[in-house]
């Protein structure tokens, strides 16, 4: 009886947002289990992140599409209904998402497309291969955003996308706290995944079978990783997290309770590495999965 292999993508978000994040991503890749990261092209230290990525070619780098809690790649004057007077996106993601849906027809549709393409073009200008695409606060799965990404996918080489569909039961069995938030997340992203999955598949875009980390966001610690690795089902899974060597000032307003250093410690833990090896889990990246999907 043959057991289907278990493959695991381990991703760190917010590459380019702060030096503490950049250093943690590289350390977790070199000395731990992290295989992938996603770049904020408008992050304050994005140029440093790109240089580090080029020094570590085995680190798969994707685009972390930012449409809330960050700065746009387009001149704010070109997207006046998306950016505030200070030239930044709005901080409240749910209200921003509702605004995108409500005003999509007409001006915001054009502005959304302009900004999404600006971020894709900025990534292309780095010279890095685009391993995958995901979104800050998972905004890439917004029903007004995903069709634009699918339209632009052939031009910018989008071959893999994070499809956030986490098993709520698994998350609650591990940690039943924050029940209301997790139920809300579970309902919203189950619905978004049901909308996105067939469209991504029809476009030939690779996704993982399941994604972990959303319900445990900011607290993907050693205990969580050990519990998860020991129970991973067959197929392709992704764990995403937010490591940093110290709490970054650039992210403090939006991630006040995140245990960034604890996540870095988990990713570089000898016990976690031993669990990966003993459970015969193969570490991989979306770049590798997309290459396998495409074939010779």
Kindly report the number of other CB atoms within 10 A of residue 40's CB atom.
25
Whether 1 maps to a domain, the answer reads: no
Report the percentage of the chain scoring pLDDT > 70. Answer: 93
Rounded to an integer, what distance in angstroms lies between the CA atom of residue 125 and that of residue 117?
Answer: 12
Q: Which of 133, 166, 131 is nearest to 148 (CA)?
A: 133
* Beta strand 133-135 pairing with 210-212: unpaired
pTM: 0.93
Across the range 142-152, mean pLDDT stands at: 94
Work out the angle at residue 22's Cα, subtended by the Cα atoms of residues 265 and 281, and round it to the nearest 5 degrees.
50
Condensed to tens digits (0 to 9), the pLDDT of residues 221-238 reads 999 999 999 999 999 999
Whether 32 maps to a domain, the answer reads: yes
Whether 122 maps to a domain, the answer reads: yes
pLDDT band at 89 (very low <50, low <70, confident <90, very high): confident
Across the range 27-49, mean pLDDT stands at: 98
By CB neighbour count within 10 A (0-12 exposed, 13-18 middle, 19+ buried), where does 296 fall?
A: exposed
pLDDT for residue 296:
56
Across the range 196-207, mean pLDDT stands at: 97
Rounded to an integer, what distance in angstroms lies between the CA atom of residue 110 and that of residue 104?
Answer: 8
- For the cut 90, the answer to whether the pLDDT of residue 82 exceeds it is no
pLDDT band at 268 (very low <50, low <70, confident <90, very high): very high
Rounded to an integer, what distance in angstroms lies between the CA atom of residue 253 and that of residue 169?
Answer: 30
pLDDT for residue 25:
98
Whether 102 maps to a domain, the answer reads: yes
Q: How many CA atoms lie within 13 A of 185 on its CB side?
A: 23
Radius of gyration of the chain (CA): 18
Largest separation between any pair of C-alpha atoms in the chain: 62
In eight-state DSSP terms, residue 160 is B
Whether 121 maps to a domain, the answer reads: yes
Whether 174 maps to a domain, the answer reads: yes
Whether 80 maps to a domain, the answer reads: yes
- For the cut 60, the answer to whether the pLDDT of residue 106 exceeds it is no
Rounded to an integer, what distance in angstroms lies between the CA atom of residue 154 and that of residue 241?
Answer: 28
Strands (DSSP E) contained in 114-207 are 133-135
Condensed to tens digits (0 to 9), the pLDDT of residues 132-143 reads 999 999 999 999
CATH number at residue 123: 3.20.20.370
Which residue segment(s) compose the domain that 149 sits in?
6-294
Q: Report the number of distinct structural domains present in the chain.
A: 1
- For the cut 70, the answer to whether the pLDDT of residue 99 exceeds it is no
Whether 97 maps to a domain, the answer reads: yes
- For the cut 90, the answer to whether the pLDDT of residue 262 exceeds it is yes
pLDDT for residue 10:
98
- Sequence-ordered alpha helix ranges (H) in 103-167: 109-125, 146-156
What is the average pLDDT score of the chain? 92
Give the lowest-confidence range in 81-85, 209-213, 265-269, 289-293.
81-85
């Amino acid at each position: 009886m043959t057991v289907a292999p278990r493959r695991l993508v381990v991703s760190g978000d917010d590459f380019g947002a702060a030096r503490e994040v950049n250093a943690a991503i590289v350390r977790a890749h070199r000395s731990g289990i992290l295989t992938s990261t996603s770049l904020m092209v408008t992050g304050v230290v994005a140029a440093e992140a790109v240089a580090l990525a080029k020094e570590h070619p085995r680190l798969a780098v994707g685009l972390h599409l930012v449409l809330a809690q960050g700065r746009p790649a387009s001149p704010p004057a070109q997207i006046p209904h998306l950016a505030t007077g200070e030239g930044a996106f709005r901080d409240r993601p749910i209200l921003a998402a509702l605004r995108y849906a409500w005003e999509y027809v007409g001006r915001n549709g054009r502005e959304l497309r302009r900004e999404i393409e600006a971020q894709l073009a900025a990534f292309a200008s780095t010279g890095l291969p685009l391993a995958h695409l995901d979104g800050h606060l998972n905004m890439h799965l917004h029903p007004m955003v995903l069709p634009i990404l699918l339209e632009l996918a052939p031009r910018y080489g989008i071959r893999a996308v994070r499809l956030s569909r986490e098993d709520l039961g698994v998350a609650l069995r591990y940690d039943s706290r924050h029940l209301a938030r997790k139920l809300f997340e579970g309902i919203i992203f189950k619905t978004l995944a049901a909308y996105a999955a067939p469209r991504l598949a029809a476009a030939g875009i690779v996704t993982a079978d399941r994604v972990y980390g959303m319900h445990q966001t900011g607290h993907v610690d050693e205990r969580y990783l050990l519990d998860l690795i020991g129970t991973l089902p067959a197929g392709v899974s992704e764990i995403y997290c937010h490591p940093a060597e110290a709490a970054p000032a650039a992210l403090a307003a939006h991630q006040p309770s995140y245990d960034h250093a604890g996540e870095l410690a988990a990713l570089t833990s000898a016990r976690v590495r031993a669990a990966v090896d003993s459970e015969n889990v193969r570490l991989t990246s979306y770049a590798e999965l997309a290459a396998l999907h495409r074939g010779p």
